[in-house]
Amino acid sequence: MDTEEERLEGQVEIWEHMLAFFDSMALKCAVELGIPDIINSHDRPVTISEVINNLPTTTSSPDTIDYLTRIMRLLVRKRIFASQVDKESNETYYGLTPSSKWLLKESRFNLSPFVLLNLDPWLLKPWQYMAECVKDGGLPFEKAHGAEIWDFASANPQCNRLINDGMRCATEIIINAMLVKYKDGFNGIESLVDVGGGTGTMITEIVKANPHIRGINFDLPHVVATAPEQLGVEDVGGDMLVDIPEADAVIIKWILHDWGDEDCVKILRNCRKAIAKKKNGKVINVDCALRPDGDGSFDKTGLALDLTMMAHTSGGKERTEAEWKMLLNDAGFSRYNIIQIQAFPSIIEAFPSSL
């Protein structure tokens, strides 16, 4: 029999879970209004009036002060912003925290585009179909929009831009963390192919940090056609499910979690073929190594993003170490290392069995 205290605690937890999306919506509001940048531009804590005077609008309604004060009150409670009351004027001043500094648009490492991507109505709508898909099967995104996400994005430039901007900002953060933690991992590599490299952001940064590497940015022809020319990087169009250019090593970031197991094995086998002629060839897979019971910094995030893959892709998932081991073995990789970095994904370094 539950005690009265346990029953109350259970009720509180349900309320918190039920209303958790309010936190997300308040965060989105702050990003859309540019509040972190407004505070940062003053180089000191600011009042609500100072925020309002710098909003990207020509008019303000009578409700503006009330609305914004209440939104900031919640975001202070969630440690997105800090607040302090001036004893003389009794006015509240709002400042940045380590969290809101990740939302500054002028910062190289800025998560604002990723916030706007994940909280956009297009990407929120599929979540309404999760229970239906559990009961009847199907894809939440397709049920919500009548098409799979990549087809939908190609037909909707605004959605495509949201996805590209969100992935670009996340990539920059991941690359920086990778170049710090894994810098010795590129020693001895003369050629490196980035599979699914998009417009070449990652391979370009790797080559800049490792000028001895000849970089190959590999993606679908229409994708690499838009990639800017970069010193030391060659853009190659193709299909990773068919063939991958030869190189000393392959890097593949946040690609395999978009695909089901069968396609992942096919892609990994093509990666293995690409490095088959190299004595010390390897695949550098930058992806989540899910730890459902873990208490690390990003373990809870991994579980949430696993459901995101369910909501937005056809067969995508975040995988545990045991699941990665199975896929790697099926694709002909006998050894692997998992290396943690100061970002959400890990580096799963895989070495092939002898051919």
Rounded to an integer, what distance in angstroms lies between the CA atom of residue 202 and that of residue 177? 12
Alpha helices in the chain (DSSP H): 4-18, 20-33, 35-42, 48-53, 64-77, 112-118, 121-124, 130-136, 140-145, 149-155, 157-181, 201-209, 221-224, 261-274, 299-312, 321-330
Rounded to an integer, what distance in angstroms lies between the CA atom of residue 228 and that of residue 273? 28
Structure tokens at 264: 């992942």
Using CB atoms within 10 A of its CB, is residue 256 exposed (0-12), middle (13-18) or buried (19+)?
buried
> Is 257 labeled as catalytic in the residue annotation?
yes
Q: Which residue is it, tokens 């990207």? A: 56
Rounded to an integer, what distance in angstroms lies between the CA atom of residue 318 and that of residue 44? 41
Pairing between β-strand 319-320 and β-strand 289-290 as defined by DSSP bridges = parallel
Question: Sign (positive/negative) of CA torsion 174, 175, 181, 186?
Answer: positive
Rounded to an integer, what distance in angstroms lies between the CA atom of residue 13 and that of residue 307? 20
Rounded to an integer, what distance in angstroms lies between the CA atom of residue 223 and that of residue 202? 14
Torsion of CA 284, 302, 197, 186, to 10 degrees: -30
Q: Which of 145, 222, 257, 312 is catalytic?
A: 257
C-alpha distance across the termini of the chain, in Å? 61
What is the set of active-site residues? 257
